[in-house]
Each structure stands twice: as structure tokens, then as C-alpha cells.
Amino acid sequence: MQAPTIGGVSVPRGDGKTVVRVRRGASLTDFADKINANPASLVTVLFHLGEMATATQSLDEDTFKVLGSELGFDIQVVSPEDEERELFDAFNIDLDYGVEVEDEEDLEPRPPVVTVMGHVDHGKTRLLDAIRNANVIAGEAGGITQHIGAYQVTKEHEGENRAITFIDTPGHEAFTAMRARGAKVTDIAILVVAANDGVMPQTIEALNHAQAADVPIVVAVNKIDVEGANPDKVRQQLTEYNLIAEEYGGDTMFVDVSAKQGLHIDSLLEAVLLTADAALDLRANPDKDALGVAIEANLDRGRGATATVLVQAGTLAVGDSIVAGSAHGRVRAMLDEHGNNLDVALPSRPVQVLGLSSVPRAGDTFVVAPDDRTARQIAEKREAADRQASLAKARKRISLEDLNQALAAGKVETLNLILKGDVSGSVEALEDALLQIDVGEEVDLRIIDRGVGAITMNNINLAMASNAVIIGFNVRAEGQNAEYAEREGVEIRYYSVIYQAIEEIEAALKGMLKPEFEEHEVGTAEIREIFRSSKFGNIAGSIVRSGEIRRGAKARITRDGVVISESVDVAGLRRFKDDVTEVREGYECGINLGSFNDLQVGDLIATYEMREKPRA
């Protein structure tokens, strides 16, 4: 039989089959909530199992399993994606659509989906206009008239008419915000760099975002019509960031363009298709219920809630019941970017959908449900889950403190950092120094973004999407941003001394930042008499001298100030004939120390527990 207490604390027990489900990233506190236990006592239990964790630290699945088997619970760790999947499973809706999961014969080619990114004023908006206009020739009456958040153009390529979908919100903010929410929309990024200005901070930021998402990049060197434009310099500058032009022996396509004069737009589209064909397998199964992502939505006075969705697989049709985030409804009409009504939308096609109950958020997934009722039920469940998620205390996605555990468990192989500082000199110095830390083979330290200025929403989104820790050097995240980071569980560390930042990160990488525990004396008792019991072994008749003695506690026995034994368990505790859980100072009691029998009158029994030491 298991002891009723572990480490001096009593905790609720399961029967070994009781299933408890916790969200991925849950802490002891979350688990404690589910079984009605005191989080601190679970810390102690875990400690006795040889694992140290704080009450609020995220635990990995293995640790939960160990803890669960000790306590008689079958702890199942579920990710938000799993939850979502289970929700859809319950309604028999299949969310898998990738090339990997479909039958080969069901797959049809689909157009690439492209996002335009780059530094402010380098011509992103103008380029999106130019691409839109260049395509008027392709025969659409009236050209693109509606802004719906995305549009499609066609380009003749190797004798075939190929479509390309452009997300019509320039900049990486939208891109990262969506990715932070788990939506992968973009297949290819066009990085716009003005040839008269060269690589600028947001160029790098955009590039970091794309690289972090593993999205191939085509570089549009823009404004070549401007005097002093130096497209070669742009190529040179970007080699530093691992974007090496084909003509320099790399595999990134660079195209010189002028968005203003509409120069070489065609070559740029060509480069997109070549890159897609070389680097990606863009196919989807059109022959099933549609699913995809909402990319833009608003409330229109006349038409109610409208949402532009990007179909990622299947075919969306007028009359389908859909759920997008926590909005639902039946597709009343679908409009494309020309304002034309469509009956169906195939993979990679963006369409504006009318008929939703409310406005979804950009990045929400949408799916077709079998009927209106199911759509509504799913939407309601999602809304409830959202509410719960935002109520639940934010988890650290990754923190320096638990980095080493995550590394050991093979959960992460890299520590991604985002550096923000007050002046560029200190950011560079910090980056240089960090990159010189010798971190050994197993772990990779990557600085995925750096910049000058306060910590922005965008930094936090990138940190969320890439599981990064943000380092603020003499700068802070303020107000809303700080709250957002807290809510989303992004760790921000602040420093004002470079070496301190370096020391801590080095320590984290070497596993020195684990929580520290210190012994805390709970009570002492003096042995006054010894009773021999054939059944239980020796019972120490004692008087509690300080604090209290608890059943199950760990004890140390000293004789004349010398330690006789460590780590002895208080296996039984009695007052007269009754079993009790604790005895306070001044009272007599019988203490059974289990198999430990080397006792003498006058020995001191000191019980202690391990408590987490707050870090200085």
C-alpha cells in the first residue's frame, strides 16, 4: 500500500485510472486545481520524486507522467491544437490537409500565396499596386477594384497560365501576428529593398520573420529608376544575412524592379513561380470540404460581418455552413477582388464571405461544417475555450529558468533570443558577446531579431511564434505590450549591464539557473523513551520541542549535536492510541521512524522540508 503522505504532505490520490487532462505547458498549480490539492504540497511530492520545479513553472509531459503514476492519476497532456482537433473530431471534421496526409492521386497543384515585406517606404504598397495593375492585361474586366485583403493574379509561365495569390496587407506585422496564432498562410515572401536606400532595420526584421517561419524569400530590389540606385549593393548587403543571390552562387532570386514605372514586374512574378517550383510542393486536395484561414474581416454596415478567407484545402461553395474562429454562419455569397460573385473557391483562393454571425479574427482557422447547427456548436465551444484560455494564467513559453530542462528533454535545441536596446552600439556589443558564448554541441544560440527602441508588439509576436526570449537592454516593454507579453507567456529579461546579461544567459545554457531549494526546519522533537514493538519496530516516545512534527516528513536524527542519520521518514505518528497527522510544540507523541531503529533516549529528531529559494 502507498503511504498516505509523501514528504510530509498529504495530497489527493487517484485510483490509477483517474484521467486528468492538463493543457500543454501546464504547471503544478494547474494540476493542483484539477485535483483540489495544494500546489505547494505537489512541489514537495515532486521533490521527493527527484524533480525540482516551482509551482508555476511549466512541466513537461514526462514529469507529469512520473507525478501522475505516483499519485494514481493518468495525467494526459493536451496541446491547444489537440484540443481543437478533438473538438473537430467530435463532429467528424478532418483538419488534416497537407501534402503529407492526402492520397497522392487526390492532390492538385495550387497557387503560391505570397506576402510582401520590407522596410517602410521601400515600396511595398506601390509594388502590390503595380502587380495588381500589371495583371489587368490578363483580361479581368475592370481590373481589381475591391480591397478584400488578398488578390490573385495570373502569369504565363512555361506555356501555362499560373495563378499567384498575394496577401494585400504589406508588412510583416500581419504575417507574424497570424503566425503567432498558429496560422501558416504564406508560402513565399517577397522582400522589398529600395535600391537607393539599401538594407534597413525593418528589412532585417522582415527577413528574420520569414526565415524564422521557414518561408523562402524572393528579393525585389525596388526603385531602380531612382538616381543613385545601387542594386548590387543590396545584393552585397544581404549576403551577410544568408540571402545569397543566384548570380553570386546562392539560391535566392533577386529581381530589380521599379514599382513606380512598372518595370520587371513580370520577372518578379516569374521568380516567385520558379522559387515555388524549386523549393515547395504546393498541392492540395480540392475535392473535400474547405478549410483555411481568415485573413481579414470587418463589420460592414450594409452587409453585416464580412470575412476574407483563404481556402487552403477543399472547395468552398455558396451555401456551405462554416465556422471561422468563434464566428459561424452559412455562406450567403462569395466575392472575389473584382467584385464578382463566385459559386466556388478552390485552394489558395481568397474570397470575401458574407453571411457570418460575427467577425472572426485574422489568423482564425475556418472549416466547413456538415450543417448550421454543428457550425454553431463548434463556434460556441471555441468561444468557451478561448475564454478559458485567456482566464488561465499565462504560461511561459520558454524561460531561461526552465531552458535546461527543455534542452535535456530534447524539446528545444536552440535558444532563440530577440535583443532590444537603447542604442545600436550596445545591441551590437551584446550580440557579439552572446555569440561568443561557448555553448557546446547540443544547443544552438540564435539571435533571431535585434533592434533599437522599446519592446514592441511585433517583437512579442515574433517571440511567440519562434519560442524566443526577449532581452531588453535599458529598454522596456510598456503598458499594453508588457501585459500582452505576460498574458502570452513571453519571457522578457531586463538588463542594464552587458556582462550580467551574458552571465545569465550563459548560466541558463549550462543549466545553472534551475530553481534553488533550501531546507526549512519544520519541527524538532526529543526522544524521552523508546518502546519496542515487534510489529512496528521502535517507537520513539518524544516531546515536540519546536514547531510541529508531521507524519510523512523527512527527518534528521542527531545525537549530542552529531548527525546519526539523514533522510529518515516519519512513518507513523501517534498521540496516545490515536494516529495523528501532526503534533505541535509542547506535546508528547510516539514517532515511528520506519526501518530506522538505532535510537537512544536524548536523540533529537529534526524534521524539514525543501522550499524553493527566491532568486536574488
Q: In the complex, which residues of this chain contact ligand GDP (CB under 6 A)?
A: 118, 120-126, 170, 222-223, 225-226, 258-260
Retrieve residue 136's grid coordinates.
489587368
Cβ closest to ligand GDP, residue 173 vs residue 431: 173
Is 48 annotated as a binding-site member?
no
Q: Which residue is at the shortest CB distance from ligand GDP?
A: 123
- What's at 216, amino acid-wise? P
Cβ closest to ligand GDP, residue 235 vs residue 556: 235
What DSSP character marks residue 438?
A: -
Q: State in angstroms the smallest separation of the CB of 221 from ligand GDP.
A: 10
Is 120 annotated as a binding-site member?
yes
Is 4 annotated as a binding-site member?
no
Q: State in angstroms the smallest separation of the CB of 238 from ligand GDP.
A: 17
Dist CA 450 CA 452 (whole Å): 7
Q: State in angstroms the smallest separation of the CB of 163 from ligand GDP.
A: 23
Q: Residue 298 — φ and ψ, nearest 5°? A: -155, 170
Cβ closest to ligand GDP, residue 222 vs residue 481: 222
Dist CA 432 CA 410 (whole Å): 27
| Residue 356 · residue 304 · CB < 8 Å | yes
Is 209 annotated as a binding-site member?
no
Is 222 annotated as a binding-site member?
yes
Q: Which residues pair with 563 in a beta bridge?
A: 558
Q: State in angstroms the smallest separation of the CB of 183 from ligand GDP.
A: 23
Retrieve residue 331's grid coordinates.
455562406
Is 223 annotated as a binding-site member?
yes
Q: State in angstroms the smallest separation of the CB of 394 from ligand GDP.
A: 33
Compute the Cα dihedral for 605, 609, 610, 614 and give only its sign.
negative
Q: Residue 590 — φ and ψ, nearest 5°? A: -105, 125
Cβ closest to ligand GDP, residue 122 vs residue 349: 122
| Residue 475 · residue 422 · CB < 8 Å | yes
Is 552 annotated as a binding-site member?
no
Cβ closest to ligand GDP, residue 226 vs residue 344: 226
Cβ closest to ligand GDP, residue 123 vs residue 314: 123
- Residue 427's contacts (CB-CB under 8 Å, 6 or more residues apart) are 419, 420, 421, 450, 451, 452, 473
Q: State in angstroms the smallest separation of the CB of 174 from ligand GDP.
A: 13
Dist CA 237 CA 306 (whole Å): 42
Cβ closest to ligand GDP, residue 205 vs residue 491: 205
| Residue 330 · residue 355 · CB < 8 Å | yes
Is 459 annotated as a binding-site member?
no
Q: State in angstroms the smallest separation of the CB of 140 from ligand GDP.
A: 22
- Residue 556's contacts (CB-CB under 8 Å, 6 or more residues apart) are 563, 565, 566, 567, 568, 605, 606, 607, 608
Is 124 annotated as a binding-site member?
yes
Dist CA 262 CA 127 (whole Å): 8
- Binding-site entries: 118-125, 168-172, 222-225
- Binding-site entries for GTP: 118-125, 168-172, 222-225
